[in-house]
């Protein structure tokens, strides 16, 4: 097991909005509440959301999803009825089963300098379409972003590289809400701003208090987001989001993307709230991750793999970790810890 060594540093995870794009992503981005989700989620949710269903292994067949290429989801389905799995090694309450040595940061000492650390769990595999699920307890502190997203690895290069990204983000100032987003930009050096389609959705719960199932579904015809198997948003082919070539964002998602999770602190207080570091450490916990392939002929999904994080470290054949600066934090490997069947993405600090 990877140990956290004092002094700990504040962990952050890199998300779809980076450097100058943290502000640019907000330009012309609609902020709305999904009324259809309100009714569905309240009707299907309690403080525990969807009642957990035990799933014994990654080879189990889920309703509407096959574990072999023969079965598929009917093309007319709007969402997949996927049960929420409960990990026996994960407590449903806060992380009291874990130990953590870094003392809470209750105030900033003006005589000291602080370094803040975050982390990013980055998938090594590249995907073109699929279904991506993670059962997570998110993190939230003013100024922070806790996320799950798909990203074209060369998006940051700009210039002649396009930007392709699909996000789920919990913004630190509001743990009872979350943001869905697609970010695109055509590969044209003269175009400096990304196209974003940010929408803020309400939870019927505090995302930092308990585990819930999050999903991104990406196909050639649509991108959809689900919480606890309830579809919250769907963007379809032909929807227009800008005046550039990437206006049809679903059509413009042409590049292979990697699956990522990160926890970081933004320099855009209007978006996430002001970040001071007070309240650290915090952590995002991942119980398991499931990935499904997409069959264009049947429009169905077949499970490729499930990671239960039941070892002593992340699987190096599947994941790597970030090691770069992300706005107000620096990513480091020590801030991703596998313990008790959970991958912990930690944001902490060091007083210099």
Tokens of 81: 């009825």
Q: Are the C-beta atoms of 14 and 260 separated by less than 8 Å?
A: yes
Q: Which two structure tokens, joined as six digits, stand for 321?
A: 């970790």
Q: What is the DSSP letter of 24?
A: H
Closest listed residue to residue 178, CA positions, set 144, 209, 151, 201: 201
The half-sphere exposure of 98 on its side-chain side, counting CA atoms within 13 A, is 28
Cross-strand pairs, 147 = 169, 262
Inter-residue contact 185 to 196 (CB < 8 Å): no
* Residue 165: active-site member: yes
Active site (annotated) includes residue 70: no
- Choosing from 169, 226, 283, 327, the catalytic residue is 169
**Per the residue annotation, which of 120, 165, 255, 257 is the catalytic one?**
165
Q: Which of 219, 77, 49, 54 is nearest to 138 (CA)?
A: 49
Secondary structure, 3-state, 204-261: CCCCCCCCEEEEEEECCCEEEEEECCEEEEEEECCCCCCCCCCCCHHHHCCCCEEEEE
Calpha distance 346→137 (Å, rounded): 12
Strand partners, 215: 133, 226
Residue 208 makes CB contacts below 8 A (sequence gap 6+) with 137, 138, 139, 140, 170, 175
How far apart (Å, rounded) are the C-alpha atoms in residues 70 and 61? Answer: 12
Contact 114, 108 (CB under 8 A): yes
Active-site positions read 165, 169
């Amino acid at each position: 097991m990877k140990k956290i060594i004092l002094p700990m540093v504040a962990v952050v995870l890199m998300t779809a909005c980076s450097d100058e794009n943290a502000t640019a992503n907000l330009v012309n981005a609609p902020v709305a509440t999904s009324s259809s989700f309100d009714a569905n989620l309240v009707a299907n949710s309690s403080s525990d959301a969807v009642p957990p269903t035990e799933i014994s292994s990654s080879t189990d067949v889920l309703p509407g999803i096959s574990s072999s290429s023969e079965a598929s989801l009917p093309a007319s389905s709007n969402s997949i009825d996927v049960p929420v799995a409960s990990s026996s090694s994960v407590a449903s309450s806060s992380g009291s089963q874990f130990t953590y040595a870094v003392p809470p940061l209750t105030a900033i000492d003006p005589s000291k300098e602080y370094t803040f650390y975050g982390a990013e769990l980055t998938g090594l595999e590249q995907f073109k379409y699929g279904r991506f699920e993670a059962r997570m307890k998110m993190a939230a502190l003013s100024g922070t972003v806790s996320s799950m997203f798909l990203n074209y690895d060369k998006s940051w290069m700009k210039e002649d590289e396009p930007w392709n990204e699909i996000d789920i983000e919990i913004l630190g100032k509001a743990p009872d809400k979350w943001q869905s987003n697609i970010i695109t930009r055509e590969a044209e050096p003269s175009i400096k701003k990304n196209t974003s389609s940010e929408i803020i959705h309400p939870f019927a719960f505090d995302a930092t208090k308990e585990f819930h199932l999050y999903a991104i579904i990406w196909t050639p015809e649509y991108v959809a987001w689900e919480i606890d198997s309830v579809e919250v948003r769907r963007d379809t082919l032909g929807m227009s989001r800008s005046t550039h070539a990437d206006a049809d964002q679903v059509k413009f998602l042409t590049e292979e993307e990697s699956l990522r999770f990160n926890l970081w602190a933004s320099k855009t207080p209007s978006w996430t709230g002001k970040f001071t570091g007070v309240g650290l450490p915090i952590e995002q916990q991942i119980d398991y991750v499931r990935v499904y392939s997409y069959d264009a002929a049947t429009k169905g999904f077949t499970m490729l793999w499930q990671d239960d994080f039941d070892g002593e470290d992340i699987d190096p054949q599947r994941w790597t970790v970030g090691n770069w600066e992300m706005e107000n934090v620096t990513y480091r490997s020590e801030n991703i810890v596998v313990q008790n069947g959970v991958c912990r993405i930690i944001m902490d600090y060091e007083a210099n």
